[in-house]
Structure 1
């Protein structure tokens, strides 16, 4: 029978199969791949068919890369440029039919529908990038194929809880941003291999313990969730470069003196953090530090700060006292301190030569401002 004619019925019978990944050895990779794409939109399928509307040989499919024996190694159908919004009406992709020889899947920002079953993905899979689709289901990390090192599920319709244990010893990168994941999250049992973890834009809640993160972690984004309570910064890995905890409901003191020395970027915006902020104790490699719209208070000492600092953004707090802007870091480009309670006069004659933005609006500053000697780089 013609495979294309049999496809809708066959998929209906098989797509919700409760079993694990089936043995497809009896099917050719051509047949398997036709099952994978059979429910995608006509405009996409047109690129895989000839003038008689028959599927081309998979060796001719754009975006497929093959091993020396002709089997498929990589599937690369991501968009070249990220669209302003996800495409619609692109059809459904059936991952459960992917040939086991595939090691990489790149399907980002395609707007495909589908159901994610981590346990039915190819056995040899190493990288799985499906950001920007409409995938449903849950992310069962422990069911991912054992060789997976990178998994990108961001901006889909995935639900449920997320549990990652030390069982998965090759996982280095995991992105689950902008989904509908919920519940608590255990940061103490992550695989030692994890370097980049992004949980932002979900519905995670509860307290957070960051004292036992993997020693090789470089990037951690847990912002835009419902995490709450105090947040301890002690014991975080020295390898950490970027930390984002903004737009949660963290409370208590923000002890920046406990941040790892290698940290370059910190975002603590829109929480309920309180107390003073000793900027002179920022990590020595700091480049960008922001902690807007909190309840931080006290005076701000702006000297000495790390020479590498380029941006300080602290508007919308309760800082008070005078401001000394005469000894700012030489590379500073943005200083945003508006909507606080600073008072007194300020001297603008010794600003860094490369500064571009200075925001000190809605404070209680007084006295004349001399703009005659401000750097030419400062934007009006």
Structure 2
């Protein structure tokens, strides 16, 4: 009879909710405010990840095998999430990405939130959240050590950018069309870097182009407040795409054997 009593049932449900919250709090690292994600199943982590996301039905399922856009390996570990163009909005809590993830693609939604400083999976190789509404600062010094690709252009990210302690494995960094400020250093980029895009921000200062990685194929710095005379005589041979227009930089660039160099709106002269 007790189980047929609505009041009794509601009390049981409330108690279970409180116990779940207690378990969640007990898994917090009190010194850093981080969650011990190893204490949760992947199903629970996914539910926490999209807890504040609208239109969950576009991706979620009753169990892990029913979720859309997941890639699961032979060990039943989630290794990739592909949620591009899913009409998702609200806050995506990236701090709850499952620990085994290697690739995350969420571009072209209306998601907000922040890119966490400490809790991205160490196994993460690629993160693409382009064309969303992510905000706050981005700590590039604490990216996963094996990361190869970070794409976050066209968001609302802000703060300064430190490019001197990027993962050695990083090949692609796209951060154009945000609100980053301050100066940037190009003399200690990863040796493996191939694509760097920082255009359409509020970056300032002079730039040293003499120590770019020999692997760099594309460099996009247009529409910033960079200024001063620059030495372009040591550009990498494979740098075929260079966009530095709409800046206050000056100097000369030999564009022979380069596919595309755009300097309109700057004081740079092209040698053909």
Cross-structure match for 1:130: 129
Q: 1:18 offset after TM fit, Å?
A: 7.5
1:194-249 deviation line (CA, Å, top 9, x unaligned) = 11000001000011110100011000000010001122211111111100001112
DSSP 3-state at the match of 2:36? coil
CA distance in 2, matches of 1:210, 1:184: 14
Cross-structure match for 1:64: 70
Cross-structure match for 2:101: 102
Cross-structure match for 2:42: 29
CA distance in 2, matches of 1:18, 1:185: 31
CA distance in 2, matches of 1:273, 1:267: 10
Q: Which of 46, 58, 75 is the matching residue for 1:47?
A: 58
Q: 1:272 and 2:267 equivalent?
A: yes
Cross-structure match for 1:93: 92
CA distance in 1, matches of 2:206, 2:31: 35
Aligned length: 256
Native 8 Å contact 1:178 1:200 kept in 2: yes
- 5+ residue gaps, structure 2, are 1-12
Q: 1:172 offset after TM fit, Å?
A: 0.4
Q: Which of 29, 32, 42 is the matching residue for 1:19?
A: 32
Give the number of the structure whose alpha-carbon radius of gyration is greater.
1
Residues 90 and 208 of structure 1, relative CA distance in 2, 3 Å threshold: same
The list of structure 1 runs, each at least 4 consecutive aligned residues, that deviate by more than 4 angstroms after superposition, is 12-15
Q: CA RMSD in A?
A: 2.8
Q: 1:62 offset after TM fit, Å?
A: 1.0
1:165-193 deviation line (CA, Å, top 9, x unaligned) = 25521000000000010111101111111
Cross-structure match for 1:323: none
Q: 1:273 offset after TM fit, Å?
A: 4.2
1:91-137 deviation line (CA, Å, top 9, x unaligned) = 11100111110000000011101122132111100000010111112
* Structure showing the higher helix proportion among its residues: 2
DSSP 3-state at the match of 1:201? coil
1:304-358 deviation line (CA, Å, top 9, x unaligned) = xxxxxxxxxxxxxxxxxxxxxxxxxxxxxxxxxxxxxxxxxxxxxxxxxxxxxxx
**Structure-to-structure mapping, 1:230-249, within 5 angstroms:** 230-249=229-248
CA distance in 1, matches of 2:72, 2:82: 11
CA distance in 2, matches of 1:126, 1:35: 22
DSSP 3-state at the match of 2:118? helix
DSSP 3-state at the match of 1:33? helix
Cross-structure match for 1:74: 80
Q: 1:138 offset after TM fit, Å?
A: 1.6
Q: 1:272 offset after TM fit, Å?
A: 3.3
Native 8 Å contact 2:174 2:196 kept in 1: yes
Q: 1:262 offset after TM fit, Å?
A: 4.0
CA distance in 1, matches of 2:179, 2:34: 26
CA distance in 1, matches of 2:249, 2:161: 21
TM-score, length basis structure 2: 0.85
DSSP 3-state at the match of 1:142? helix
Native 8 Å contact 1:233 1:256 kept in 2: yes
Larger relative contact order (Cα-Cα within 8 Å, sequence gap ≥ 6):
2
